[in-house]
Chains A and B, each alone.
Chain A
Amino acid sequence: EDQVTQSPEALRLQEGESSSLNCSYTVSGLRGLFWYRQDPGKGPEFLFTLYSAGEEKEKERLKATLTKKESFLHITAPKPEDSATYLCAVGGSSNTGKLIFGQGTTLQVKP
């Protein structure tokens, strides 16, 4: 069964304190790994797509990396506006676009 697990569930950082979020996955045929940002009461906002081990993507203070079993979202020198829940999802083994989400990591960055 396709599965996604994210850790930690919650993370508190001081402004400027870099850290990483983890996403472990089990899927029979990976059709991409996706990172989203979700603000309270809002829809997931697309950040990155990764398709193969070794791939990296960057956007401002965020960098996503992928291995055969997990992905990391590195946050460098975060600011309070980076506070949100970060969701990881994988494309399922069926060729229908179904995404399987993890439970998310809620990040709080204090000034």
Chain B
Amino acid sequence: EPEVTQTPSHQVTQMGQEVILRCVPISNHLYFYWYRQILGQKVEFLVSFYNNEISEKSEIFDDQFSVERPDGSNFTLKIRSTKLEDSAMYFCASSGIAGLETQYFGPGTRLLVL
């Protein structure tokens, strides 16, 4: 069964450093998303991406964040200068013909900023 994969599973970084989180969406999906979940809190929407453009971004997704689809399979989230409050689980999701909102999530990257 096709699934979304994410790397790395865990990342520890120093405050102010850049991190890139990687995702491989399900192969025939066209819509891609990033969400985050701070420990003990709700899953929060960050950004949606379609046709090489951002469709919508949340207030959390400020100038420190960027997304890219560098090739036909990968989808990345970059945080340019990490802050302590960026520590969270980051989930990638994708959706296809079943509808934008029927999204399949990856296993997540746990980011810890020290």
Residue numbers of A with Cβ under 8 A of B are: 31-32, 34, 36, 41-46, 49, 87, 89, 91, 94-104
Contacts and interface: CB of A to CB of B under 8 A. Distances in A.
A44 B100 contact: no
Among A32, A41, A98, A104, residue most surrounded by chain B Cβ atoms (within 10 Å) = A98
B105 A43 contact: yes
Contacts of A45: 105
B108 to A, nearest CB: 5
Interface residues of B, number: 29
Overall SS of chain B's interface: strand
Given A43-B91, A91-B101, A98 B43 contact: no
Given A97-B31, A97-B33, A97-B48, A44 B101 contact: no
A94 B50 CA distance: 14
A101 B55 CA distance: 19
B68 interface: no
